[in-house]
């Protein structure tokens, strides 16, 4: 695979809850770590692209990092915000407009469900009883979609639990993760039912964190690192008419291809490879059902094959196709602006061989990420070394 763009530095602020630390401060921390990793200073960067849904305009971060006059573009694209920041930075360098830049994502969300709709009951004792019991729009949509999928393709409740159990096991080995307590499949199945068939421990939570990635022209990458990771594709796609997505007001009579399938095909074509060439993947797992459906939508299996793949442990760290090796959204939570970049951060670690106890064996060479955001936007990246 040929690539004009390389990732030469990565930085991250731990995900979770950080009282007294703003989302922007977490983003600035990630930037400093990424610059340190690339052996550069903020002053060396020619441009920045940043995204945040709830923690302020990223361009104001220059007051914390240095007033150097660099070009700074803000992006906002739902849960795909981080992927959008990365693809924008990728395209800037690929177009020859700059040699060195940075993609940044951070956020800081309040506790409880994402406030995509107003609660119908007043807050009592500090808790939103409507959203907190799984009745916000997003949890209901995810529940409806996976329930329908399970019926059509023979996916069991046990398989939902296997996804979440894997996520918490992997998260327990990740020092950057929020949720570090592994749960058994039985504990997950017996946790509070929020939106049938999804229980509390099958969902991710809004959270906090920041990630930054330094990108350079690939022919200059060795100026910054001995282990450049090449960005072979960074693709975004929106929904077609008839695809069943978050906040859709109706269910189509016939299934239409969703934005994930379109983005995945475009990314594989751009990179010149297929799903069989991927050694490790990070897929959007807003809840357990999302990971299951996205396995098929990204081309890694046929609908229904997930039941047997998970039963055989094929998506475990030592399996045929490790998925969400850092614990995914279920273990890390989802600070919207940072979530997609967290996936890329993890894949860079895996391709460098620096993921510690969760390192994928046999020297992985190709890595894949996928994000999905309301009301139907998907981003895919393919990396190699």
* pLDDT over threshold 90, residue 117: no
Six token digits for residue 358: 């969760």
207-221 mean pLDDT? 96
Radius of gyration over every alpha carbon of the chain, rounded to an integer in angstroms: 19
Q: Kindly tell me the sign of the dihedral angle through the C-alpha atoms of 215, 221, 226, 228.
A: positive
The whole-number pLDDT of residue 79 equals 79
The whole-number pLDDT of residue 280 equals 98
* pLDDT over threshold 50, residue 65: yes
List Cα–Cα distances, 292 to 86, 143, 156, 204, 368, in angstroms.
25, 13, 11, 15, 16
The whole-number pLDDT of residue 120 equals 46
Residue 364's CB is within 10 A of a number of other CB atoms, namely 22
CATH topology of domain 5-111+206-223: Peroxisomal Thiolase; Chain A, domain 1 (3.40.47)
Confidence of residue 121 (pLDDT cuts 50, 70, 90): very low
Q: Which one is predicted more confidently, 204 or 122?
A: 204
348-356 mean pLDDT? 97
* pLDDT over threshold 80, residue 270: yes
123-152 mean pLDDT? 73
Residues 363 and 344 sit within 8 Å (Cβ to Cβ): no
Task: Identify the weakest region by mean pLDDT among 104-118, 278-292, 320-334, 366-380.
Answer: 104-118
* pLDDT over threshold 90, residue 345: yes
End-to-end CA separation in angstroms for the chain: 9
Q: At what angle do helices 259-271 and 288-297 cross, to 10 degrees?
A: 50
164-192 mean pLDDT? 97
Confidence of residue 125 (pLDDT cuts 50, 70, 90): low
* pLDDT over threshold 90, residue 222: yes
Residue 210's CB is within 10 A of a number of other CB atoms, namely 37
List Cα–Cα distances, 250 to 103, 206, 219, 241, 324, in angstroms.
36, 27, 49, 11, 31
For the question of whether the overall pTM of this predicted structure is more than 0.85, the answer is: yes
* pLDDT over threshold 50, residue 96: yes
* pLDDT over threshold 90, residue 198: yes
Confidence of residue 225 (pLDDT cuts 50, 70, 90): very high
* pLDDT over threshold 80, residue 171: yes
Contacts of residue 382, Cβ cutoff 8 Å, sequence gap at least 6: 1, 231, 232, 233, 267, 268, 270, 271, 273, 278, 366, 367, 368
Confidence of residue 187 (pLDDT cuts 50, 70, 90): very high
Average pLDDT, whole number, for the chain?
A: 91
- Alpha-carbon gap, residue 122 to 120, rounded angstroms: 7
The whole-number pLDDT of residue 1 equals 66
The whole-number pLDDT of residue 245 equals 81
The whole-number pLDDT of residue 129 equals 54
């Amino acid at each position: 695979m040929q690539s004009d763009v390389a990732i030469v530095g990565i930085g991250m602020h731990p995900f979770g809850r950080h009282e007294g630390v703003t989302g922007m401060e977490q983003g600035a921390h990630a930037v400093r770590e990424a610059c340190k990793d690339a052996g550069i200073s903020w002053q060396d960067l020619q441009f920045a692209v940043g995204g945040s849904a709830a923690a302020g305009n990223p361009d104001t971060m220059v007051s914390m990092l240095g007033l150097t006059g660099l070009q700074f573009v803000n992006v906002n694209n739902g849960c795909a915000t981080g992927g959008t920041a990365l693809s924008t930075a990728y395209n800037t360098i690929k177009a020859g407009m700059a040699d060195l830049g940075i993609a940044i994502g951070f956020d800081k969300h309040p506790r409880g469900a994402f406030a995509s709709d107003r609660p119908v009951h007043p807050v009592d004792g500090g808790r939103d009883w409507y959203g907190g019991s799984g009745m916000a729009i997003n949890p209901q949509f995810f529940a409806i979609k996976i329930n329908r999928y399970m019926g059509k393709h023979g996916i069991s409740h046990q398989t939902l639990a296997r996804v979440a159990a894997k996520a918490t096991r992997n998260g327990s080995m990740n020092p950057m993760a929020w949720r570090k307590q592994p749960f058994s499949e039985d504990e997950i199945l017996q946790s509070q039912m929020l939106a049938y068939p999804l229980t509390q421990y099958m969902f991710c939570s809004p959270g906090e964190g920041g990630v930054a990635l330094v990108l350079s022209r690939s022919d200059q990458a060795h100026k910054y690192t001995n282990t450049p990771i090449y960005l072979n594709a960074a693709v975004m796609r929106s929904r077609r008419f008839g695809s069943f997505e978050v906040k859709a007001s109706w269910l189509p009579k016939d299934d239409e291809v969703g934005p994930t399938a379109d983005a995945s095909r475009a990314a594989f074509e751009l990179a010149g490879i297929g799903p069989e060439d991927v050694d490790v993947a990070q897929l959007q797992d807003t809840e357990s059902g999302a990971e299951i459906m996205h396995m098929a939508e990204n081309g890694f299996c046929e609908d229904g094959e997930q039941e047997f793949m998970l039963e055989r442990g094929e998506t475990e760290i030592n399996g045929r196709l490790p998925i969400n090796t850092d614990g995914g959204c279920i273990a890390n939570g989802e600070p919207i602006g940072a979530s997609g970049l967290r996936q890329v951060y993890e894949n860079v670690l895996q391709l460098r061989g620096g993921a510690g106890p969760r390192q994928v064996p046999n020297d992985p060479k190709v890595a894949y990420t996928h994000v999905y955001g309301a009301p139907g936007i998907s981003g895919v990246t393919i990396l190699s070394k």
